Structure 1
Amino acid sequence: MIAKSIALCRSHIGSVKLLSSCNRYFQTSTASMVKVGDVLPNVDLFEDLPTNKVNLADLAKGKKVVLFAVPGAFTPGCSKTHLPGYVSKAEELKQQGVSEIVCVSVNDPFVMSAWAKDQQTAGKVRLLADPSAALARALDLTVDIAPLGGVRSKRYSMVVENGKITSLQVEPDGTGLSCSLADKIKL
């Protein structure tokens, strides 16, 4: 019966995994996670206000951009380690040819603006809001973190040159602090 159900589900949704410890079915994404060589999606993010759209594809056109994502603004790992690392390393990265350093989070633009002020990122790191997780979904880098409100972005960093991803580091568990830190960026 279970095998027949799995086969039926696969034909409709792509793939299903059975977690035997609790006998529940989970749908896995049929999309494939973003990879080196892919082009950034044409997604609008927001800076400071909901009326200030920033198209990510346009932002990266003709530039070398470091883009990193965090699960949430004002969260401990993001505020104490991840973002401050990029703020302190901003000048060094810019001397190495990086035009923009961008931090993205699934938050509203007002929260990201307040976080930018709190972390003193002006002139160093741009904080862009992805309020509906449009970018996280387009990159297939979402993670469900119920205590933070549900769907968020996995923690990652990437280097983008003229719109094309040339380096990508995704945290193995989606939220940890290892390979996506500023001192690990691969220019």
Structure 2
Amino acid sequence: MIKVGDLLPKVTFNLLTSEGMSNPNTDDLFANKKVVLFAVPGAFTPTCSASHLPGFITLVEQFFAKGIDNIICISVNDAFVMKAWGDSQNAEHITMLADGDAAFTKALGLDKETGVFGGIRSKRYAMIVDNGQVTHLNIEAEKQFEVSKAEAILELL
């Protein structure tokens, strides 16, 4: 499992924006940048839609004021779902990143099998990444939402 001090694994993602589909890789997203990355088990799910993503949307300017270059929300969903979810939440300042085949999530060791709920999904977590290296990592206990919320991550900066 990924830990503080580790470099992020090299993975290519799908990202759908108003400009169209792109395929950024880990270096494109994290090299020479300070980034908050948070993961949710699924787009449009209750805690993710009511609390997790909205917390980062509300505090986005405070993160930028503290030197964060980008905030990325990632989920094991396809790029179309991630864009639709971001649009529905007015998340224009958050990068809504798809890990459609869970390659990144599995490489981090933060995947979980949810069976009929949706198969392989991500554990809920948030991390701060500086130039591709994990400097903080907060992984939620099952069915919890405390250490990965925006307020908890903002306190680390």
TM-score normalised by the chain length of structure 2 = 0.93
Q: What residue is the counterpart of 2:2 in the other structure?
A: 34
Q: Which consecutive unaligned segments of at least 5 residues does structure 1 have?
A: 1-32
Q: What residue is the counterpart of 2:102 in the other structure?
A: 133
Whole-angstrom distance in 2 between the partners of 1:106 and 1:128: 9
Of the two, which has the highest radius of gyration? 1
Q: What residue is the counterpart of 1:117 in the other structure?
A: 87
Aligned to 2:24, what secondary structure does the other structure show?
Answer: strand
Q: What is the deviation of 1:57?
A: 2.6
Q: Which amino acid aligns with 1:76?
A: P
1:112-141 Cα deviation digits (max 9, x unpaired): 01001000011x211000000011100000
Say yes or no: does 1:66 pair with 2:60.
no
Q: What is the deviation of 1:56?
A: 2.0
Q: What is the deviation of 1:35?
A: 0.2
Say yes or no: does 1:102 pair with 2:72.
yes
Partners of 1:40 and 1:57 within 8 A in 2: no
Whole-angstrom distance in 2 between the partners of 1:106 and 1:148: 12
Q: Which amino acid aligns with 1:42?
A: K
Whole-angstrom distance in 2 between the partners of 1:103 and 1:51: 17
1:59-110 Cα deviation digits (max 9, x unpaired): 1111100000000000000000000000001000000000000000000110
Structure-to-structure mapping, 1:139-150, within 5 angstroms: 139-150=108-119
Q: What residue is the counterpart of 1:86 in the other structure?
A: 56
Partners of 1:102 and 1:126 within 8 A in 2: yes
* Among 100, 123, 126, the residue aligned to 1:157: 126
Q: What is the deviation of 1:51?
A: 4.3
Say yes or no: does 1:46 pair with 2:28.
no
Whole-angstrom distance in 2 between the partners of 1:134 and 1:152: 11
Whole-angstrom distance in 2 between the partners of 1:67 and 1:109: 16
- Aligned positions, number: 153
Q: What is the deviation of 1:176?
A: 2.2
Q: Which amino acid aligns with 1:71?
A: P
Q: Which consecutive unaligned segments of at least 5 residues does structure 2 have?
A: none
Q: 4+ residue runs of structure 1 moved beyond 2 angstroms?
A: none
RMSD: 1.3
